[in-house]
Amino acid sequence: MQTFTLLPRQSTLFVSALLGGVIFTSCSSIPVPSNQALPPGNVTNQAASLPASRLADNVVQKAEAAPVPRSRPQLIKKAAITVIVNSVDKSIDTVTQILTHQQGDLIGLKEQQPTKENARHTATIQLRVPQNLLEPTLADLAKLGTVENRNITVEDVGNQLVDFQARLINLRKTEANLQKIMDRAGSVRDVLTVAQELSNVRQSIEQIDAQLKNLQNQVAYSTITLNLKAAVSSTSPQRAVTLQIQETWNKSTSSLGNFTVSLLKLGIWLMVYSPYLLILAAGVYGFYRWRRNHLISH
């Protein structure tokens, strides 16, 4: 019985020693001031006295990332331009050619055709081009017509990129250390504890990696919002006549339907009150005959 009782304790001490070694290795790369030097055996003694779950947390919290050098500002550029053009349809075709030449992509297109007189044909186009080709693309778009307004917004995300990269390095070191601990862990409880911490670290790696790639993509490619407006409003006589005829036809058919329904309702009312109407008509006819006979007799 004594042998079975000592086995879990030995397994826990074994895992604690491994975790303590990982912590000591991670902390050995951190410079410690001379006036704050740790006493010998301090880290190892603390590791041996902590459970596996707390030691795994210490691995996540104490592993330091190597500094990531920042070479130049990382800028996200967004532009918006409004151009007055003679023909929106032809301008859209020209924009497609500009995108092909500037190695860009069409993200979205929203076109609004005029439905009333004196309404303008407009279109809003979302573009994406390499950042180094932003200015040439804007220059080509300005040639479509008369530029009404233009603006460019810039956001520096260099600090965010450095922070994400450093956190990724930190988390990947922690992932490697936790993997070594899990490979050497003895009891099932210790394995499950370290496996849970390892799963949390990997989930954090995936989230930060996705955010990092999104920022890098926004830095590499700039977005342009292009608003196209027709210079002359639509006053086509043929289109106006067609709309008027269609509107008149709709009103006449609707009126005919309402009139037919009204007649049917009137017929139903007459059928329901027909007995009373017959009695009334007979009374009127009898009075008329009586009055006529009375006048003739006199």
Nearest one of 100, 148, 150 to 122, comparing CA atoms: 148
pLDDT digits (tens, 9 = 90+) for 42-69: 433 444 444 554 555 555 555 444 444 5
pLDDT digits (tens, 9 = 90+) for 161-180: 999 999 999 999 999 998 88
More confident residue, 25 or 117: 117
User: What residues does each domain of the chain span?
Assistant: 68-235, 237-297
Nearest one of 107, 115, 112, 117 to 88, comparing CA atoms: 112
pLDDT digits (tens, 9 = 90+) for 205-229: 999 999 999 999 999 999 999 999 9
Q: Is 79 exposed, middle or buried (0-12, 13-18, 19+ CB in 10 A)?
A: buried
**What pTM was estimated for this model as a whole?**
0.53
More confident residue, 139 or 267: 139
| Residue 262, C-beta contacts closer than 8 angstroms, at least 6 positions apart | none
